[in-house]
Amino acid sequence: DLGGRVAASGGLYRVQLGPFTTSAEAARARDGVARRGYGDARILHSE
């Protein structure tokens, strides 16, 4: 279980984790999901 939120969109699923306080924390989470087989995971910044 990765945690976070899941939203269906056009036959795809978007999984959102966070919020994170620092970019380094977000990068660690992204690296963790990439190791679990989601190599195309990306960090999206919002305000």
pLDDT of 47 higher than 80: no
pLDDT of 24 higher than 90: yes
Q: Which has the higher per-residue pLDDT, 28 or 2?
A: 28
Q: How many CB atoms lie within 10 A of CB 10?
A: 6
Q: How many CB atoms lie within 10 A of CB 38?
A: 13
Express each pLDDT in 11-22 by its tens digit. 988 889 999 999
pLDDT of 46 higher than 90: no
For the chain, the domain total comes to 1
